[in-house]
Amino acid sequence: MVAGRPAESPQDAGEAVAGGVPAPRGRAETQQPRREIQGGKMPSGTGHLKVGTQIQPARATPPDDRHCRNRRAMSRLSSTSPPTDMHRKGIILAGGSGTRLYPATLGVTKQLLPVYDKPMIYYPLSVLMLTGIREVLIISTPTDLPRYEALLGTGERLGMRFAYAEQPRPAGLADAFRIGADFVGASPSALILGDNLFHGAGLAQIFQRAAARTNGATIFGYAVADPTHYGVVELDAAGKAVSLEEKPKTPRSRYAVPGIYFYDGDVIRIARELAPSSRGELEITDLNRVYLDAGTLHVETLGRGIAWLDTGTAESLLKAGVFIEAIEERTGAKIACLEEIALHRGFIDADAFARLATEAPASVYGNYLRHLAAHGI
């Protein structure tokens, strides 16, 4: 298991974190022919990238001595040099088999299951949008990736750019940075898990503050009743990270690490130099530990007014849907309405939003868009 996940494997739309409705079939955006990258599929474990515009193939990591690579990554980490490109990019890791939701996931990947009125992946995507990120790479299995492309398209309708990459087999969360190496380049980045939902007042500002840091990494701490199922961060009296553990039997703190992480431009190199764990995977805790040992790991704690929702089991998926429904029904505002967030963030203008509202089918979601377009937001 990995940090940010349980044992396997939000507010008005201006601050909500999660959600959305796919574009109706037949839009030109989703019908564009796929352009395979130069070189086709990469060696096992590296995946390959696809996007509506050109993108270079991801590079396989050269062989190396696994026993010393993590230490070498730490020693070479600079705590002073800012990234070359300050334009932060996002990655959504949406792979896995969703076995705890069997048999619901026999025909569809977990991150496409609905959480109340939207596909699950809309929720983490909205987090990145609220943070101000406009370029996003979606990583999934070769089988499921075409379904995400059909759902999300190129991103142009939202004023964004979506790219897609395959992860042929589970290889750990940090593997996302090997697969997405050429997409991220020297830019700072943010990684979020496709089944993590967040909601709460001020949450967008917390993530924006993390995104504004130019050096090091930022993770989050969330107090839970049973930390043994998660990656755990221990903090000192000043709130600075002291240690990181992966699903400890005797946790040193109650702070679990949710599945969202912000990194500077060094992360690609560090991920390439990580040694696989005993499970043969690149662990996100090991990646974060490199920053911890270098003194450049920042931790933001998420308080009691923030909800971090688990969607890994049938019961938790149901509870998450009920949570979203209760807030939307009470406030009259949609959580993670992608079109609304795109307008608020300035990704699209009012005319583009009105067109999206007109194109939306007759549904509660479509009627919500048309109401906003007619009466203002």
Residue 199, SS3 per DSSP: strand
Q: 74 or 297: which carries more pLDDT confidence?
A: 297
Q: What percent of the chain has pLDDT over 90?
A: 69
Beta bridge partners of 260: 192
262 phi, psi to nearest 5 deg: -115, 135
Q: What percent of the chain has pLDDT over 70?
A: 77
Q: What is the pLDDT of residues 244-287, one digit of tens each?
A: 999 999 999 999 999 999 999 999 999 999 999 998 999 999 99
pLDDT bracket for residue 377 (50, 70, 90):
low
pLDDT bracket for residue 310 (50, 70, 90):
confident
Using alpha carbons, select from 4, 206, 176, 31 the residue that is nearest to residue 91: 176
Using alpha carbons, select from 294, 319, 298 the residue that is nearest to residue 308: 319
Least confident of 50-64, 213-227, 253-267, 299-313: 50-64
Please list, in sequence order, all residues whose beta carbon lies within 8 angstroms of the beta carbon of residue 129, skipping any fewer than 6 positions away.
158, 160, 338, 341, 342, 345, 347
Section 96-120 average pLDDT: 90
pLDDT at 102: 86
Please list, in sequence order, all residues whose beta carbon lies within 8 angstroms of the beta carbon of residue 43, skipping any fewer than 6 positions away.
60
Instruction: Round to whole Å and give the CA distance between 265 and 215.
Output: 8
Average pLDDT, the chain: 83
pLDDT at 99: 85
Q: Is the pTM of this model over 0.85?
A: no
pLDDT of 22 higher than 70: no
pLDDT bracket for residue 54 (50, 70, 90):
very low
Q: 297 or 35: which carries more pLDDT confidence?
A: 297
Q: Which residue shows structure tokens 């201006």?
A: 14
pLDDT at 51: 55
Q: What is the pLDDT of residues 154-185, one digit of tens each?
A: 999 999 999 999 999 889 999 999 999 999 99
pLDDT of 57 higher than 90: no
pLDDT of 27 higher than 80: no
pLDDT of 16 higher than 70: no
Q: DSSP for 242-303?
A: EEEEES-SS-S-SEE-BSEEEE-TTHHHHHHHPPP-TTSS--HHHHHHHHHHHT-EEEEEE-
Beta bridge partners of 273: none
